[in-house]
Amino acid sequence: MVTSRRAEPIQVSTLNGVGAALMKGLAALILLCGPVVLAIAASSLTHSWVALLVGALAAAVGIPAGVAVWRLAGRNRAATRRLESVGIRATAEIIALTLVSSDEGHVYEVVMRLSGSGLVPFEVTQSRAGGTDLHVGAHLRALVDPADHSFAILN
């Protein structure tokens, strides 16, 4: 007998148009740094091998990193758009809260129950930085895709 099991809920990082543009701008800078340094080193009169090596190394690291950041921005923006179009408003009630780290600000492991109209309630666990607004029984706004339970906490 084969039983189907619902996939684990996936949190969507909300990324608006400005955030996506900033991420893609940063990706373009990362991507272009190496080739620009390499071109300047190659066109200089001294042809310093150190500058060529630095440019080649920056290109070898920067191009894949820039492409990765660019693709991450695109995927996050697409996921945000999809969730905004098919998601329903929900409430995330904090049902358990555990302090995990207090080195640089408090980091909590938060267990939340997400529920809303037309949505089968489900629980998620995530790490969140927080202060006095995080307490058991607090309600946070959320957006949930009822088909696959992907979600975003809006506050």
Whole domain around residue 69: which residue ranges? 17-85
- 89 DSSP β-pair partners: 143
pTM given for the model: 0.70
**81 and 21 within one domain:** yes
Per-residue pLDDT reduced to its tens digit, 15-68: 788 888 999 999 999 999 989 988 888 887 776 788 888 888 999 999 999 999
Indicate whether 6 belongs to any domain: no
118: phi then psi, degrees, rounded to nearest 5: 75, 15
**81 and 92 within one domain:** no
**139 and 94 within one domain:** yes
**95 and 48 within one domain:** no
Indicate whether 123 belongs to any domain: yes
Q: Which of 37, 61, 85 is the last residue of a domain?
A: 85
Whole-angstrom CA distances from 47 to 11, 34, 37, 132 are 50, 16, 12, 59
pLDDT at 2 > cutoff 50: no
**50 and 27 within one domain:** yes
pLDDT value, residue 88: 92
**57 and 26 within one domain:** yes
**135 and 105 within one domain:** yes
Indicate whether 50 belongs to any domain: yes
Number of domains present in the structure of the chain: 2
**33 and 68 within one domain:** yes
pLDDT value, residue 124: 92
Indicate whether 133 belongs to any domain: yes
**97 and 41 within one domain:** no
Local confidence band at 4 (pLDDT 50, 70, 90 cut-offs): very low
**129 and 77 within one domain:** no
Assigned token pair, 127 = 């790490």
pLDDT value, residue 13: 79
If you search the block for the tokens 């009169």, which residue do you land on?
A: 45
